[in-house]
Amino acid sequence: MKSKKWLPLFVFMTIVAMLVGACAPAAVATPAPTTPAQVQKETVIVPQEVEKVVTATPPPSGPVTLTFWHGYNADTETPFLEKTVIPAFEAAHPNIKVQDVNIPYDQFHQKLLTAIAGGTAPDLARLDIIWTPEFGDMGALAPLDEVMSDFATYKDAVFPGPLSTNFIGGHYYGLPLDTNTRVLVYNKDVFSAAGIENPPATVDDFLADCAKIKALGANHWCFGDGGTYAWAVDPWIWSFGGAMTSPDYTTSTGYLNGAQTVAAYQFLKDGVDKGYIHPGIKGGGVDTWGLLGKGQIAMILEGPWFPPSFKSQFPDVKYGMALMPAGQGGSISVVGGEDIAMFQQSKNKEAAAEFIRFMLSLDTQLQMATVGQMPVLTETTSSENLAKLPDYFGIFLEQLKNAQARTPVSNWTRVEQILTDAGTAILNGKGTPQANLDDAVSKIDPLLPKPAQ
Amino acid sequence: MAISTNTQKKIIPYLFLAPAAVLFLLFLVYPLLKGFQISFYNWSIMPTKPSTFIGLDNYVKAFQDQVVGTAFKNTLIYTLITVPGQMILAMLAAVMIHNITRGKIFFRTLYYIPVITSWVIVSLLFRYLFQSPEGLINYFLVEVFHITPDPVGWLQQAGTAMIPVIGLGIWKGIGWSMIIYLAALASIPHEIGEAASIDGANTWQRFWAVTLPLIGPTVVFTLVMLLIGGFNVFISVYLITNGGPMQQTEVALSYMYHQAFDFIDFGYAASLSFLLAAVIVTGSLLQMKFLRRPVEIS
Amino acid sequence: MRLRPRIFKKSPVYVALIAGALVMIFPFIWMISSSLKPNLYVIEYPPQLIPSNPSLENFLEAWNANNFQQYFRNSAFVAITSTLLSVTISAMAAYAFARFKFPGQETTFYVLLGVLMVPNIIVIVPQFFLMKFLGLRNSLWGLVLIYTATSLSLNTFLLRGFFEQLPHELEEAVLIDGGSYLTIFANVILPLSTPALATVSIFSFMGFWDEFVMALTFIDDPAKRTLPIAIALFQGQHGTQWGLVFAASLIALIPIFIFFFGLQKYFVGGLTTGAFKG
């Protein structure tokens, strides 16, 4: 009978199912974070009630588990967080466990939005400073100035610039966690092969050096970057004296399509056409670290996480660091960094606040500095503390004096998409810089906040 | 407990259908209706901000959005290239493997390996192979076969960025159709082919006049399934180009997904879904009679 | 003696088949080769097919750096449970369609086919809210239910075609002996349909094992990730360390290869017996 053939298959699958079921009880039996009851509760919480809910929550008595989402890099920062920082926190707070979730930067924004929409936001997240306005404006974040009774202490302890990215509609929705900027990183061996003695101080020097580097061969590029997003193009725009928007962020007309910004894009376009700039910037990206390590790209722009991480990958490569080459607008780089924010959906706001306090303590800030996270506490600039920071922070601190933030508006994700597409079109020769930027301005202006009356 | 056979005959089919019906109604029919409703709203996810009814605004926006046109065009191009590509190459492979005596199973297995490999893994693999300027494909083109003097910037240009995606679609799909064609070829009685060859028909004539009509229903089945698969293209785009450069390689579903989960514009995403569904249903109605055929023939 | 000229005549066919086979598997060979190159932070140029210092370092690092056993168990649980549920439920529905006449039969069947035409992803937004409402986000059982539901139309369609071909005589005999329709289904229809059921099971299993979009959208909890999600995230974290990414991918591929090669004979049996003649 044919059933003999069917039987073993069915038995096989059933057995495998049972085996798998038996060894995965934790994965199956654990109640999902969103049981229907919790969903109801979450929809009940409206901001007016948040204060009551929060003040009514007693300090955590039973053990609670906090989830903390971050995009720390996988080679040095995440292992340090998991092996040193979190264990120290858990030792000091026996009732609180921290489950950290590492999500790569490229997927972070989408995963977080999805989780918020799905009612499964983490308790805490480390947000790129440029995302905080969007999530705050959406109502996803808890106002820390209401949730943390000692918020004023922290507000006064951090640098005002990074703090400002958290102030949205009259409340603070986060605290800065780390700050950074990009400086010029160059491969010393390539520089000596091309006969360049010092890193370029100005854009003109930069171009002169590029000509020498290009002479090394077709497989050599003077400069490389991953695309035309704001993080990559802003330093050039600003150093050329251009701007994204008006200082109050209400319009991009006359700024993004102004003469200096156009000149910056023209400079990038010429660089790509002459083979100075690696074509990956036109789209598709490029492994800048790998090519810098191999000496095929001579210069890149990088942040303070670069030295420890690069060393773990390319221990033998000699590199130097310098300020952003100066143009008409001076040597101006882009301010980056992350905020730590708490979500409205968190049911452990007291415990979450404890973790924020811990991450902003002097000890933790100084520890995270060893893996390239620049501290945000003003007291770290005291000479005693400064001595504990890595030497290479010097150049970044110097550059931070002349660095600007990307446009902090709630529609940033859409604004940046338009900006990136315009840049890609320009570098690929699809229309002049002026035409593309005029078009971008007409699309970006409606997304910017209305001017105050 | 004697229930008359007639009563049984009336109730039993519903009992057998019940589990499928419950899941189907809950997880597919209800979402379809709900999605239709969402498409007329500016849908908010935050309890503090109510969703507002905006009528046809999302649909109007879709018709004015240039990227929507690009995305639908790309979906169509993908389908029109990958479906015949897979079918022709799969048929070629199937006929050749069917006619050899040694190594049938060997070749069948090799051609089938891409099919059983995860879309995620092969998408990442293709992204790696098509890197520029120093990916493996460029190495073959420039250094080994000297087809192009300079490396191709595959993922940098809208014109070439779809090539890895389409190539992956064909490469991964050949084995699936091939194995179905092989099964169909194996079911053709030997005498038919022999009769034709006695009549003096050459291989090509025999295939065209005898074999193809016999396996016609199978070919129609793969055609329909591949068309469905073509309109389903998402993972490879999401992982290879993610719609770039300049959103020029977005396909309908990737653009919809970006609107929903990058910009939380769920209403707009839902309207894009229904526009795609409308395109597909229209196309399907035209196909319906073909689909009926294999069912009737059996 | 007769074999020799025939093989000779067929040599162009073999050449073509071998060329095709190379195209089909070369990417995998390349993947294996890359995964054996330790600490590959940069793309080699010119590329080396044979690693100069082959090592299993990447495999060890991938296995240890990630919770792969957990992801594997999650994927296996979801794929196997969904396959069993989907095939059972579809077989029941297919039986109803193939062997009974009931009001609304045609309409129901066309609704089923209509849904088959439309990509599942188009309802991902409303499904997302439904899963949230039912508390099924971040739940492997949630994935099982939705995977089962989305696979029903195709499986029912395929099985109905097969069931319709089966002879009626045995069933009548069962009824005369006093058996019920359930007896017919369990003792006649299912045993006779082994090849079709096996085929449908294997196709379903591979689809579930591979599923990416719903798992991406409905699962946030790292403990509930399935392998496709884990691999995509892993690539994001180790962007340029392709050797490491491919080692992780190969680890993830092993189970599906074992499953496929282990069940290949059932699979091919199902096809040659004509499950796909519809």
Residue with tokens 């025999």: B206
Q: What is the structure's pLDDT at C40?
A: 62
Contacts of C237 in chain A (CB under 8 A): 73-74, 102, 104
Give the Cα separation of B80 and B90 in Å (integer): 16
Mean pLDDT of chain B, nearest integer: 87
Contact present, B68 and B272 (Cβ < 8 Å): yes
Q: Do B244 and A284 touch (CB under 8 A)?
A: yes
Q: How many CB atoms lie within 10 A of CB C179?
A: 15
Contacts of C264 in chain B (CB under 8 A): 109
Closest residue by Cα to residue B233 from B166, B157, B142, B149: B166
Q: Percentage of chain C with pLDDT > 70?
A: 89
CB-closest option in A33, A36, A290 to C240: A290
In a domain, C153, yes or no: yes
Residues paired with residue A97 on neighbouring β-strands, in sequence order: A65
For the segment C154-173, the average pLDDT, to the nearest whole number, is: 88
Q: Do A36 and C134 touch (CB under 8 A)?
A: yes
Q: What is the structure's pLDDT at C8?
A: 55
CB-closest option in C34, C45, C92 to B20: C92
Contacts of B174 in chain C (CB under 8 A): 24
In a domain, B254, yes or no: yes
In a domain, C143, yes or no: yes
**Which element (helix H / strand E) includes A239?**
helix A230-239
Contact present, B74 and B162 (Cβ < 8 Å): yes
Task: Quick: pLDDT tens for B102-132.
Answer: 888 889 989 999 998 989 999 999 998 998 7
Q: What is the structure's pLDDT at B297?
A: 36
pLDDT of residue A39 exceeding 70, the answer is no
Does A50 contact B at CB distance below 8 Å? Answer: no
For the segment B137-160, the average pLDDT, to the nearest whole number, is: 86
Residues paired with residue A68 on neighbouring β-strands, in sequence order: A100, A124
Residues paired with residue B42 on neighbouring β-strands, in sequence order: B52
- Min mean pLDDT across B31-45, C87-101, C233-247 is at C233-247
Q: What is the structure's pLDDT at A34?
A: 36
In a domain, B172, yes or no: yes
What torsion do the CA atoms of A208, A212, A215, A216 make, to the nearest 10 degrees? -140
Q: Do B129 and C30 touch (CB under 8 A)?
A: yes
Alpha carbon separation from A94 to A55, A79, A351, A361 (Å, rounded): 22, 21, 11, 18
Q: What is the structure's pLDDT at B288?
A: 65
Q: How confident is the model at residue B289 (pLDDT cuts 50, 70, 90)?
A: low
Closest residue by Cα to residue A114 from B64, C29, C213: C213
Residue of B nearest to A282 (CA): B156
DSSP state of B210: I
Q: What is the structure's pLDDT at A41?
A: 36
- Domains of chain A, CATH where assigned: 56-180+336-403 (3.40.190.10), 181-335+409-447 (3.40.190.10)
Contacts of B184 in chain C (CB under 8 A): 276-277
Report the CATH number that the domain containing residue C141 is assigned in CATH.
1.10.3720.10
Closest residue by Cα to residue B274 from B10, B8, B76, B63: B63
Q: What is the structure's pLDDT at C254?
A: 83
Q: What is the structure's pLDDT at A56?
A: 40
Q: Do C253 and B117 touch (CB under 8 A)?
A: yes
Residue B77 vs residue C233, higher pLDDT: B77
Residues paired with residue A176 on neighbouring β-strands, in sequence order: A339
CA distance C208 to chain A (A): 14
Contact present, C72 and C231 (Cβ < 8 Å): no
Q: What is the structure's pLDDT at B166?
A: 96
The radius of gyration of chain B from alpha carbons, rounded to an integer in Å, stands at 24
CB-closest option in C134, C240, C266 to A287: C240
In a domain, C263, yes or no: yes
For the segment A419-435, the average pLDDT, to the nearest whole number, is: 94
Q: How confident is the model at residue B5 (pLDDT cuts 50, 70, 90)?
A: low
In a domain, B2, yes or no: no
Q: How confident is the model at residue A31 (pLDDT cuts 50, 70, 90)?
A: very low
Give the Cα separation of A241 and A259 in Å (integer): 9
Give the Cα separation of C61 and C243 in Å (integer): 11
In a domain, C239, yes or no: yes
Give the Cα separation of C154 and C162 in Å (integer): 13
The SS3 assignment for C56 reads coil
Domain that holds residue B207: 58-297
Contacts of C47 in chain B (CB under 8 A): 136, 139
User: Chains meeting B at 3+ CB pairs closer than 8 A?
Assistant: A, C
Domain that holds residue C247: 61-277
Q: What is the structure's pLDDT at C269?
A: 53
CB-closest option in B31, B124, B217 to C277: B217
Give the Cα separation of A301 and A396 in Å (integer): 12
Domain count, chain B: 1
| Residues 6 or more apart in contact with residue A56 via CB below 8 angstroms | none
Mutant choice from B70, B124, B156 vs A, greatest count of A C-beta within 10 A = B156
Q: How many CB atoms lie within 10 A of CB C173?
A: 12
Residue B246 vs residue A271, higher pLDDT: A271
Mean pLDDT of chain A, nearest integer: 86
Q: What is the structure's pLDDT at B196?
A: 66
Task: Quick: pLDDT tens for C187-232.
Answer: 889 998 888 888 888 889 888 988 999 999 999 998 999 999 989 9
Does A113 contact B at CB distance below 8 Å? Answer: yes
- In 3-state terms chain B splits into helix, strand, coil percentages (rounded to 5) of 75, 0, 25
Contacts of C3 in chain B (CB under 8 A): 101
The SS3 assignment for C85 reads helix
Token readout for A394 is 């010097």
In a domain, C48, yes or no: no
Q: Which of residues 174-213 of C touch A (CB under 8 A)?
A: 190-192, 194-195, 197-198, 201
Residue B65 CB-half CA count within 13 A: 22
Task: Quick: pLDDT tens for C70-117.
Answer: 898 899 999 999 999 999 999 999 999 998 888 888 898 888 888 887
Contacts of A102 in chain C (CB under 8 A): 237
Closest residue by Cα to residue A112 from A90, A92, A97, A127: A127
Residue with tokens 């693999």: B125
Residue with tokens 């069962």: C174
Does B245 contact A at CB distance below 8 Å? Answer: yes
In a domain, B52, yes or no: no
Residue C202 vs residue B168, higher pLDDT: B168
Return the number of CB contacts < 8 Å for A and B.
68
In a domain, C96, yes or no: yes
Q: Do B153 and A279 touch (CB under 8 A)?
A: yes
User: Chains meeting A at 3+ CB pairs closer than 8 A?
Assistant: B, C
Give the Cα separation of A227 and A272 in Å (integer): 12
Q: Do C125 and B260 touch (CB under 8 A)?
A: yes
In a domain, C40, yes or no: no
Closest residue by Cα to residue A115 from B100, B225, C224: C224
For the segment A414-434, the average pLDDT, to the nearest whole number, is: 94
Alpha carbon separation from C276 to A9, B116, B217 (Å, rounded): 20, 19, 9
Q: What is the structure's pLDDT at B89?
A: 96
pLDDT of residue A12 exceeding 50, the answer is no
Residues paired with residue A294 on neighbouring β-strands, in sequence order: none
Q: What is the largest CA-CA distance in chain B?
A: 83
Give first-to-last CA distance, chain A, whole Å: 86
Task: Quick: pLDDT tens for A170-219.
Answer: 999 999 999 999 999 999 999 999 999 999 999 999 999 999 999 998 88
Q: What is the structure's pLDDT at C1?
A: 43
Residue B23 vs residue C254, higher pLDDT: B23
Residue of A nearest to B258 (CA): A110
Q: Do A39 and C132 touch (CB under 8 A)?
A: yes
Q: What is the structure's pLDDT at C237?
A: 82
The SS3 assignment for A150 reads coil
CB-closest option in B131, B244, B261 to A110: B261
Residue of B nearest to C45 (CA): B134
Give the Cα separation of A341 and C64 in Å (integer): 31
Q: Do B14 and C96 touch (CB under 8 A)?
A: yes
Q: Percentage of chain B with pLDDT > 70?
A: 92
- Min mean pLDDT across A114-128, A271-285, B204-218, C73-87 is at B204-218
Residue B232 vs residue A28, higher pLDDT: B232
pLDDT of residue B21 exceeding 90, the answer is yes
The SS3 assignment for A98 reads strand
Q: What is the structure's pLDDT at B136?
A: 87
Task: Quick: pLDDT tens for C19-59.
Answer: 999 999 999 999 999 899 876 666 677 788 888 878 888 88
In a domain, C24, yes or no: no
Does A110 contact C at CB distance below 8 Å? Answer: no
Domain count, chain C: 1
Q: What is the structure's pLDDT at A27?
A: 33
Give the Cα separation of B34 and B25 in Å (integer): 12
Report the CATH number that the domain containing residue B71 is assigned in CATH.
1.10.3720.10
Contact present, C61 and A12 (Cβ < 8 Å): no
Angle among Cα A267, A270, A274 to the nearest 5 degrees reads: 140
